[in-house]
Amino acid sequence: MRDPVPTEFGMPDGTGRRGIVDEFEQASVAGEGDFPEGPNAGPVELPAAEMGSLPDLAKILSELSPFQRDRAAAQVLRPGYIRKLLEIFRQCEDLEDEESLRHMYFIVRGAIMLNDAALLEAFLSEENVMDTVGALEYDPELPEQQRHRAFLRDKVVFKEVVPIADPGLRAKIHQTYRLAYLKDVVLPRVLDDATFATFSSLILFNNVEVVMALQNDARFLPDLFERLKATGPGDEGWQDQVMMRVLKDGSDELRQRATDVLLSAVQHDATPFRDFFTKQPETDQFQLLLRPLLSGGDVGLQESVLEILRALLDPSTMTLKAESNHFLELFYDKYIAQLIAVLSDACEPGRQQSDAPGAAPSALALIVDLLCFCVQQHSYRIKYYVLRNNVVEKVLKLLNRREKWLVVAAVRFLRTCIGLKDDFYNRYLVRNNLFEPVLATFLANGERYNLLNSAVLEMVEYVRKENIKPLISHLVEQFGGRLAGCDYVDTFRNLKLKYEQNQEWGAAGEHDALPTPSTVAAQHALAESRQRRDERSLDKDEEDYFSKEDDDEDDGSGGAAAGVSGRVANGVAHPMGSVTGTFSLRSLVDYDDDEDEDTADGDKGMQKRGPKPARQPGSPLKRPRLSITQSEAVRLWRCSPR
């Protein structure tokens, strides 16, 4: 049964109309009949393709129901219908008939929105495509006419690095480009999800068909590589034939093109590129890939390089352990130090920050994003590197930059480390007092409600909600006095309250190690994520190196032994009864003793126990009672596999 939910809150007694629910139902009833619905909707008849029927045709195609679209598409595909419509369009342009041209826009747009693949191919065929795009230039909602035809005729040039002999294949390439142009430039505002998916599917299928045709061409690839070897930087067509070489010698525009091609290939399958970078270090192509981040460049080029690095460094796509080890070793041994050095050099005291060579602010932010990715995806490798090279301290140097969004990027990196809820990072942050520069920057910011203020407050609130006790204690004990004046929010007051609650619980000996539900969920998700790539990443001993507890586990045997009751006779101890409030040395479940108490004779010692009487039929079974304490539950949780 559903819980009663009030649908209108204006009535104190909850009676009367049901507010928006009734309005929606009334609107639905009122709207019935506007469009014929259902598979039995009435037939649709399109008028003939004539100048006088343009208003009616535009209205019909704009108001069709989903169940009428197939029938309408079949009528538009009748022989000669599309050709007549486009001839009328040319007549309207010659006459400069603005009203008829607007009708033609709605007619062509409505025909495309019928979401029929055969209809799209007909409109985008070689003989119809320019008239189709021309009709879509007269959008009445735009302030001025668009010039799509001029762009397709004059700006778009099809370059054949290797001549393609098949005319059908060339036509397929042209059609694919026009589909993409129509989807991304001409009609992005009006396409619904279904039509957008149809466009995307047609583009995908065309790309597959083109690639398969080129693969089956016995001469295409040999001719391509022969031309690549035979040309030099000064030869005509050199810019169209090289890929990785452009990253070294090309302009920003050419490097962007090469990076786009490389990004598409890496996202498809990164394994061949990892093998190439690891097996051919003498070429040092990976260094060329990093150059936009190390020495500056176009922002779009830097972002493309970042996406390539993420794809290459993503352990979830590394299917083999050897592949993961070799490439990650190459990255952490040779290249990550160069990225960290860029951060350090850009923040040296006395240097003109914005003019420092190789220290473009956009590159610094992208390097921080890459480090956040490594912290989240790589386990022991990034931990070793952080521990040995003071990575967090170097990233936090960005707090001294005058670009506030770079300051926020440094806070974001610290927040990423905290979000893992990893004891290694927590101990590292506390031991090195890494909250000091962040909170100093926060206090210097004052009460300004900007992104820096929000980022620091969210980070502290996260620590409190997740009850990360080492960080809570460190923040309150080290910075409580300085943060007490920030009373315009409740964040620090609530943090101190949580600290006091933890102290009370610790003094009472309860709740000392119980994690929050969100902490358990985060640890479980992290364990599952790393378990999926366990064969590709690290041994358990290496991971446990960073997961050691600072304090030894409590020894519960003393308390348990103190609670065991028994009778001693002739030097033999007999445990009896249950252990209340302590952990039983005998078992976790203690059953009531149905046997009679033994009688002891001072002269003869212990009497031998008699046989246990049989349970009477119909008598209830004795229920076991648990004898496990809260602290023992914590110990069991600690010992359980995570």
What integer pLDDT is reported at residue 560 of this predicted model? 36
Structure confidence at residue 245 as a pLDDT band (50, 70, 90): low
* CB burial readout 141-179, b (16+ within 10 A) else e: eeeeebebbeebeeeeeeeeebebeeeeeeebbbbbebb
Domain ranges of the chain: 1-32, 51-216
Q: What are phi and psi of 639, to 5 degrees?
A: -85, -15
Per-residue pLDDT, 11: 40
Cα angle 399, 401, 404; round to 5: 80
Summarised one tens digit per residue, pLDDT across range 110-165 is 999 998 989 998 998 888 999 999 999 998 888 888 888 988 888 887 877 788 88
| pLDDT band at 271; cut points 50, 70, 90 | confident
Q: Which residues are bridge partners to 605 per DSSP?
A: 601
257-261, 470-474, 476-480: which range is least confident on average? 257-261
Report the range of poorest mean pLDDT among 38-47, 82-91, 419-428.
38-47
Amino acid identity for residue 181 in this structure: Y
Mind listing the pLDDT tens digit for each residue in 29-84?
444 444 445 445 566 788 888 888 899 999 999 888 888 888 899 999 999 999 99
**Alpha-carbon gap, residue 582 to 563, rounded angstroms:** 6
pLDDT for position 518: 60
- With 90 as the cut, is the pLDDT of residue 348 above it? no
pLDDT for the residue numbered 7: 38
Lowest mean pLDDT among 175-179, 470-474, 529-533: 529-533
Of the pLDDT bands very low, low, confident and very high (cuts 50, 70, 90), residue 359 is low
The confidence score (pLDDT) of residue 414 equals 96
Residue 438 has pLDDT above 90, yes or no: yes
pLDDT higher than 60, residue 328: yes
Q: Among 179-188, 365-374, 568-577, which stretch is predicted with the lowest mean pLDDT? A: 568-577
- Can you tell me the distance from the alpha carbon of 366 to that of 362, in angstroms, rounded to the nearest whole number? 6
- Lookup: tokens for 175: 């059609």
Residue 133 half-sphere exposure, CB side, CA atoms within 13 Å? Answer: 23
Among the listed ranges 18-22, 326-330, 389-393, 638-642, which one has the minimum average pLDDT value? 18-22
Count Cβ neighbours within 10 Å for each residue of 263-296 and write b for 16 or more, e otherwise: beebeeebeebbeebbeeeeeebbbbbbbbbbeb
Q: Give dist(CA 421, CA 413) in Å, integer.
A: 14
Q: What number of CA atoms fall less than 13 Å from residue 469's CA on the CB side?
A: 13
Q: Which pLDDT band holds residue 268 (cuts at 50, 70, 90)?
A: confident
Give pLDDT tens digits for 549-602: 444 444 443 333 333 334 333 343 433 333 333 333 334 444 444 444 444 444
Q: What is the Cα 143 distance to its own chain's centre?
A: 38
CB count in 10 Å sphere of residue 361:
18
pLDDT at 183 over 70: yes
Looking at residue 160, its pLDDT comes to: 79
- Is the pLDDT at 315 greater than 70? The verdict is yes
**Is residue 434 scored above 90 in pLDDT?**
yes
Looking at per-residue confidence, does 235 or 101 come out higher? 101
Band the pLDDT of 416: cuts 50, 70, 90.
very high
Query: Residues 268-291: what's their mean pLDDT?
Result: 81
**Mean of the per-residue pLDDT values of the chain:** 75
Segment 295-309 mean pLDDT: 86
Least confidently predicted of 182-186, 379-383, 547-551: 547-551
